[in-house]
Each structure stands twice: as C-alpha cells, then as structure tokens.
Chain A
Amino acid sequence: MAEPTIDAGAGPVALRTSPLAHLEARMRAAAVTGARGVRLAEWPFITMVNLRVAPDSEAADRIEKTLGAPLPRQCGQTAVSGSHTLLWLGPDEWLVVSPAGGTSVAAELREALAGDPGSAVDVSANRTTLELSGAAARQVLEKGCPLDLHPRAFGPGRAVSTTVGPVAVLLWQVDEAPTYRLFPRSSFADYLARWLIDAMSEYRAPALP
C-alpha cells in the first residue's frame, strides 16, 4: 500500500524551526576553548531514512548497488558512500544519514526495494543532530554514557544506540578530535542539550589535581 509522502521540496521549508533553535545561543556560549575545549552545536534538518530489509535478500543487493556501499552487518559498524552514511540500527535495520535537503534518498531506496518485503521511510523529523567535539568531549559523554568510549573500544566510524544521561540516543563518533554526533528524538533534544551544556561547564576551570 502506498504510504502518504510529503514533498519537502515544495513545502514551506523556510518556515520550519529546528528542535534546538531556541538553545542555539546558549550552546554557542557554552563552548570551552583551550586544552580542555569542548563545543556543542546542532546540525538541523539532516536527512535520515530508516531502512528495513532482510540482509541476505536480493532487495538488499539492489539497495547496496543504489547506495554504492555495503550495508553494515554488525553492531557499531558504519559505511560511507559519497554524502551518505549508513548506520547499523539492528540486524535488518539501518539509518541512512544524508546532508540536509537530500529528499530523494527515500524514493531511490523504495525504487530499489521494488515491492519486496522491507521499507524505506524518511524519518528526518524523528531525530535531530547534536555535534559534540573537542578534547574534553569524551569526558563529557562519559558522565552519562554506560558504553566504553575509550579508543581501545570505540573510535571514528563507530555508531551505536545507547543512552546519554537518561536519553536514548544514536551515538556516532566521526573523527579523532574527537567529534561525536548524537541523534536524540526531537522531543528529548531540549533536555539532552541542557544536560550537555551543564556537563560541559566544569571544563572552563583548570583541571583539579
């Protein structure tokens, strides 16, 4: 059955407000520079497509050809293809992350599915993206994340679903800086941003011996 689709290109895109637009100034003011630097910013309106397909099916082969990259098969793995990044969500579930404005991804994936069991749904409005970067970024996250984020266990190109504080997020480490991208549900983003701003504040002061 055809699901209702929203043509974002034709809609009043200029009128939309990101979930953290009201905290933009506070996030910028919370930035810490220096040896214990850490910055927080929102990357609004990133295109996210939730993809579900059996990993060993022909439809998955066609989708891998369309995306130009193999679907990650294990928890934590990601794959990059051009401007798309594929994040593992489950054994038959992925999140395709593309820059804002990439509205054709879901349609291309649906075409590749060609009616086989599976789904490709644009969920861009489901989550927003927070970018936490700087030398102290890992220490900030470790205040509330039960995962081992030490480089021996976690590194660039890894993405896992977990919790930061009480908020469920998809946590993706982008580079060695370290830079992390956190994908909380839009409705939890306000709480998570305030939680992170609070957690960042101690790094203004010099480290205690």
Chain B
Amino acid sequence: MLLITCPWCGPRDEAEYHYGGQAHVPYPGNTADLTDEEWAAYVFYRDNPKGPFAERWMHGTGCRRWFNVLRDTTTYEVLAAYRLDEPRPALPQAGGNR
C-alpha cells in the first residue's frame, strides 16, 4: 500500500486515491493541423520510464482534487506530491542511500 501525501489533506492510504496517468502532457496548441500520427502520439503514447515518473492522482474520498505525484516506478517510493499550479520539483535525492 502506498502512502501518498495529498497537498491539501496530508498523508492518506493509496485506496483513497484515483490514478490519472502521466502528468505534464500538454494539450496540442495547433489541433487543426495535427496529423493522425500526431493525434495518436498525444492521445495514446505515454512514457514508461524505469525510475522517477510524474503522474496525476486524485484524492477521491477526501478533497476530490487532482494533483501530481513523483513516484519511482522501481521502488514505488513516493518522492514528491505537488499541486497542479506548482512546477515539477527538482528531483530530490531519489531512493535514499542507494
């Protein structure tokens, strides 16, 4: 079970949250000019890194707000949680003393 710190409610069980996929995927500005390949890349293609990954979460049984989480996909360690209007934090010393 992950322990995720909601920016508004504090640390809560993973079961209180809803997962929302990769964060920081900007909506294309020139939608009229996009080719099918570019649309597909925007709609379907997501990063699948090994290591720190920025993703969206929603605190469903709490404040019902979306926010972003930096999570290590190898260790499942939650590295940071930040609001949507905050920039992605510079990576803290990931993984402790690894």
Contact surface of A with B, Cβ cutoff 8 Å: 75, 89-91, 93, 146-147, 160-163, 168
User: B9–A75 contact, CB under 8 A?
Assistant: yes
User: A163–B15 contact, CB under 8 A?
Assistant: yes
User: B65–A90 contact, CB under 8 A?
Assistant: yes
Can you list 8 contacts pairing A with B, beta carbon distance less than 8 Å? Answer: A90-B8, A90-B63, A90-B64, A146-B12, A161-B9, A161-B63, A162-B61, A163-B61
Instruction: Answer whether A168 and B63 are a contact pair too, CB < 8 Å, given A75-B10, A146-B13.
Output: no
| Min C-beta distance of B66 to chain A, whole Å | 11
User: A161–B10 contact, CB under 8 A?
Assistant: no
Contact surface of B with A, Cβ cutoff 8 Å: 8-10, 12-13, 15-16, 60-65
A160 to B13, CA, bound (A): 14
Name the 6 nearest CB pairs between A and B, nearest first: A90-B63, A168-B61, A75-B9, A146-B13, A161-B62, A91-B8
- SS class of chain A's interface: helix, strand, loop or mixed? strand
Q: Report which of B8, B13, B15, B64 forms a contact with A75, defined as CB distance below 8 A.
A: B8
Instruction: Answer whether A91 and B63 are a contact pair too, CB < 8 Å, given A75-B9, A163-B16.
Output: yes
User: A161–B61 contact, CB under 8 A?
Assistant: yes
A208 to B66, CA, bound (A): 45
